[in-house]
Amino acid sequence: MKLYGIPNCDTIKKARKWLKDNDIDYEFHDYKKQGVPEKELNTWVKKVGWEVLLNKRGTTWRKLDDDIKNSVDETSAIQIMLDNSNIIKRPVLIKNKTILVGFKADEYSQL
């Protein structure tokens, strides 16, 4: 099991606490230090869709030029996420071929 995100994110902290409280081992991948693996990101997009992964509520999105925001498609969304890892919804949890985006305790329990 692998958890992707940034350590200071509140949602990441909740997910990590839940995993620890439930004695579940996982590997943490820090976007800030390790970047976003392009191959992984492409797999996530194919499985869950770029619309699910691209966080349009955060400050990183709001700081983007309006021309970019108004013309975003899958290809440009992937590039935006590669260039600005903070714009990826967090956390992304991978177990085998299952991908969960965001943290919901009931989804984690089922996984």
Rounded to whole angstroms, the Cα distance separating 74 from 111 reads: 27
Give residue for tokens 């349009």: 56
- Order across the sheet with 98-101: list the strands: 27-30, 2-5, 92-95, 98-101
**Catalytic annotation, residues:** 9
Rounded to whole angstroms, the Cα distance separating 34 from 100 reads: 20
Beta-bridge partners for 95: 98
